[in-house]
Structure 1
Amino acid sequence: MDEGVHPATGQEPRRRTRDRRGRGMRGPGVVPDWPGTPALRTARQKFDQLVLDVVTPLDEKWQRHLGLVEYAVEDAPMLPDDWGDETVPLSSLVRGKGASPTRLVIFRRPIEHRATNRDELEAMVHTVVVEQLAELLGIAPGQVDERYTD
């Protein structure tokens, strides 16, 4: 008989694993590329990158007309207690005065709440940014980016 086969049952013994008590895998599921950095990006980091991917080509295209614009991502807008049943804003545009730049803030949580998948999230971020830039430039959103749809 083969070694490792139980003489009475004829089966090989089960290997013991680190999951002896059914608590799941131990240790990281993914090893980072660079020590000391997380291997997986957080939802916030993914959203920030998405906004950056949308804003960069539009800002490069319209930089001459826009002037200095700061783009930011915040989790949620600060709403007054008496806000009521009005919809939560997806972004905020504060026009610059003098030396202060114009500031376009995208609110992550309201946008994520409305999107059901990654494609919708990308489309919604694109729509919000294009509409805000169109307002800033005083032109129709379709002129800012030809991919814009109502």
Structure 2
Amino acid sequence: MNVNHSGIRRSIRRGRGPRGPLLPPEVPRWKSRSESFDQAVIDAYSPLDQRWSRELSHLDIAIDTIPRMQLSPGMYLPEEIVADGAVPLGRLIPAGIDRAGNPTRPCVVVFRRPIERRVGDRRELDLLLRHVLTLLVAVYLGIEPLDVDSDFDEDFL
């Protein structure tokens, strides 16, 4: 048993100190890994959206934990899929018709886990997300990635 400065006794089990998060979820600085990733995607997409807002007004952005497709090494990939080897990092899904016959909007899907596994810190995450989103927006707009982002590095992946 320990006694804190206010005289209240509390138990510290097995010498590990207080348990639980240091910041409660209500505090603005507290974010889960997926919420931090979501914010990184928004931050990476924001400059593209500002520059091409009219052209991208009908494009949705989505984040999926893992890709629901399997690629084989050396497999031909359509330009709508951005991959690192056989691992998809993002995909452009064109507008179409769903199973109920309703029209769907085009959507860029970013895959969280494969991207997180390829980066070491927030800076690398920002660079990779910027690369993936630039490629997919360029495909959607039908223009070259350098026209979308003048700082685009074709040799990044």
Shorter chain as normaliser: what TM range? 0.7 to 0.9
Equivalent in the alignment of 1:115? 119
Alignment of 1:43-54 (within 5 A): 43-54=33-44
Equivalent in the alignment of 1:40? 30
- The TM-score normalised by the length of structure 1 is 0.74
The alpha carbon displacement at 1:58 in A equals 1.0
| TM-aligned CA distance change 1:19 to 1:73, over 3 Å | same
Looking at structure 2, the residues matched to 25 and 129 of structure 1 have their Cα atoms a distance apart, in angstroms, of 41
Query: Which structure has the highest strand share of the two?
Result: 2
Equivalent in the alignment of 1:70? 60
Equivalent in the alignment of 1:29? 22
SS in 2 for 1:90: strand
Q: Deviations over 1:67-118 (max 9, x none)?
A: 40010001011125xx444611101101114852111000011111111221
| TM-aligned CA distance change 1:32 to 1:110, over 3 Å | closer
Q: Deviations over 1:16-72 (max 9, x none)?
A: 3543631322454224555xxx86211100000010111123123213223400100
| Residue 101 (structure 1) aligned with residue 87 (structure 2) | no
Looking at structure 2, the residues matched to 76 and 54 of structure 1 have their Cα atoms a distance apart, in angstroms, of 19
Report sequence identity in percent.
35
Equivalent in the alignment of 1:135? 139
Whether the aligned pair in 2 keeps the contact of 1:127 and 1:148 (CA below 8 Å) is yes
The alpha carbon displacement at 1:147 in A equals 2.4
Alignment: residue pair count: 131
Looking at structure 1, the residues matched to 41 and 128 of structure 2 have their Cα atoms a distance apart, in angstroms, of 10
Select the structure with the greater relative contact order (CA < 8 A; seq sep ≥ 6): 2
